[in-house]
Structure 1
């Protein structure tokens, strides 16, 4: 049985805890959060040990792996320390708030021979899994173009202050739209080689972004776009479409994946579930556990995480310069 510690046990951690408790191969041993009252409540609710200092949690030799779900700018310090303590790591997205921190996290995990998995939970949704299976079978033919959309209410009740400041790694792209960027990078079967972006803060005028358009050019000629916005008033729209020689794939985590052919849409088998987030989190933890047990790379590896974050930071660089950025690229010390 793999013993788990959670560092950063905020509101979303409850969903992680529910997923962990469903899997017989995992056991939640301890949690860490800075709010002592909330920590005490979770300790009693789940019957686990609790810490306000993550270093004390990492000193427990019986803990095999940790979930890190803290503010983005803290990811690197905690993940590097956890790797040094020999703990396998499930790291919530984004990987980190700077390119240098992303590299340092991956290097620390490789050096200490621990598994690093990025919490791109959308890759485990039934809709994504069905789409990937269909694409890998070659049924769509050659993919020519793709479009992803991440449009949602930005300042909802659970939005934190650190999501709205640059020095804490805030902004809609890093916090939310990174999921759809990851989808494009994971499903299109060639590497991004050029990025052009226009990113702004038109909706709220905060110091961080809340909308933009990113154009991706791939090495095999595919083209893709990501449109994102954190609106003040509207209707959430999170989906993607891939256009191939033999049809269209339309992916919605909440509604399933549809195949478009001959002017008709058909729902792909096993692509829809009523509670996709719960099912995806359970699958995510199951894959993480299997990676540890079988000593293999997890589905969303550190290498894949670096790829996505390089594209993301290239987009931020392009938006500032007004020019297309070619990949791979050596970023300067302050990538964003």
Structure 2
């Protein structure tokens, strides 16, 4: 079967990451690049020997079956909706949109489109996370009784784009990093939280209006889950998810390490590998190829809306001081 044509909208660092992964994929072929400027699009397109132009050109090209949107969060609604209206499949990098209202607009557009939508919540394809989910499904930890996730990173304010620092444009820790945490918990626990209480604050960088710190406690059925996210000024990165069950405790880190303690100390089940990032991206593209070919689905728009709804629940809780339902 001939490779399916794909275009990338977004010629920044993640656009390059996607282009490199597509170039190595057996079922997808990069056909065009759209950038915020002609110069950025031309640089990326020339590197891979493909065309560059505007989104209208891409949407009118019958050789292009799918579009990957890797642009600032506030642009997702317009770009994804136009792509669906043109009848093409679309992969939107996380988060799906800035608000649940925008997510609803994309769900409505998908209903009348020949194209299908997918959200790039890609950490589920990281090798250590896939193994962790397998072990959980096998009952290695027993019945899950609690979980926690912590994501503390240097925010690198001076190197952040202006939209990263703007709440109105979908920036801040909850939308940039917190959505990763929520997705990982949903994926690993194979469950969805129905209530949440938490905070969203600007604690370390008063020069920006977007949040850089957050905490939350969510209920996944009867399982309590705690979350801490922080974009600190300086210090060490600490990213892990820990799940405690009746038989063991499991911890998986962003570096690709996976440990299980059944009472005799931590036993390592996975460690960092040189190709883990490539394998993660390959998993995401395999899923998108499945969407294009009609054989499978990745995280769909309804799922992406759930993640955004959880962030909105945190912000409502910040104002109300109470538990909030996740709608």
TM-score by length of 1: 0.92
Question: Does the CA contact (< 8 Å) of 1:213 and 1:226 recur in 2?
Answer: yes
1:310 aligns with 2:309: yes
Summarize deviations over 1:38-58 as a string: whole Å, max 9, x none. 22222221111101x322222
> 1:77, 1:57 → 2: CA distance?
15
Go from structure 1 to structure 2 and tell me whether the alpha carbon gap of 1:27 and 1:156 turns closer, same or farther (over 3 Å shift).
farther
Question: Does the CA contact (< 8 Å) of 1:126 and 1:253 recur in 2?
Answer: no
Per the alignment, residue 280 of structure 2 pairs with 280
> 1:188, 1:198 → 2: CA distance?
23
Match 1:216 to one of 215, 218, 221: 218
> 2:64, 2:316 → 1: CA distance?
39
Per the alignment, residue 5 of structure 2 pairs with 3
Deviation at 1:294, TM superposition (A): 3.7
> 1:10, 1:124 → 2: CA distance?
22
Question: Does the CA contact (< 8 Å) of 2:122 and 2:284 recur in 1?
Answer: yes
Per the alignment, residue 258 of structure 2 pairs with 257
CA RMSD of aligned residues (A): 1.6
> 1:74, 1:105 → 2: CA distance?
12
Aligned to 1:187, the other structure's residue is in SS state helix
Question: Does the CA contact (< 8 Å) of 2:70 and 2:92 recur in 1?
Answer: yes
Per the alignment, residue 176 of structure 2 pairs with 175
Deviation at 1:191, TM superposition (A): 2.8
Deviates more, 1:256-265 or 1:107-116: 107-116
* Structure 2 counterparts to residues 183-332 of structure 1, below 5 A: 183-205=184-206, 206-219=208-221, 221-268=222-269, 272-298=272-298, 300-328=299-327
> 2:94, 2:316 → 1: CA distance?
20
Question: Does the CA contact (< 8 Å) of 1:254 and 1:276 recur in 2?
Answer: no
Instruction: List alignment gaps of at least 5 residues for structure 1.
Output: 329-336
Summarize deviations over 1:206-265 as a string: whole Å, max 9, x none. 21100010110122x000011000010111111100001110110113132111112311
Deviates more, 1:131-140 or 1:274-283: 274-283
Instruction: List alignment gaps of at least 5 residues for structure 2.
Output: none
> 1:268, 1:106 → 2: CA distance?
39
> 2:317, 2:277 → 1: CA distance?
33
Per the alignment, residue 16 of structure 1 pairs with 18
Aligned to 2:322, the other structure's residue is in SS state coil
Question: Does the CA contact (< 8 Å) of 2:252 and 2:259 recur in 1?
Answer: yes
> 2:281, 2:19 → 1: CA distance?
10
Question: Does the CA contact (< 8 Å) of 1:248 and 1:261 recur in 2?
Answer: yes
> 1:327, 1:49 → 2: CA distance?
43
Per the alignment, residue 77 of structure 2 pairs with 76
Question: Does the CA contact (< 8 Å) of 1:126 and 1:272 recur in 2?
Answer: no
> 1:189, 1:21 → 2: CA distance?
32
> 1:139, 1:228 → 2: CA distance?
28
Per the alignment, residue 333 of structure 1 pairs with none
Aligned to 1:170, the other structure's residue is in SS state coil
Aligned to 1:12, the other structure's residue is in SS state helix
Per the alignment, residue 145 of structure 2 pairs with 144
> 2:34, 2:252 → 1: CA distance?
36
Deviation at 1:126, TM superposition (A): 0.4
TM-score by length of 2: 0.94
Aligned to 1:208, the other structure's residue is in SS state coil
Question: Does the CA contact (< 8 Å) of 2:127 and 2:256 recur in 1?
Answer: no
Q: Would you say how many aligned residue pairs link Structure 1 and Structure 2?
A: 324
Deviation at 1:156, TM superposition (A): 5.4
> 1:104, 1:133 → 2: CA distance?
35
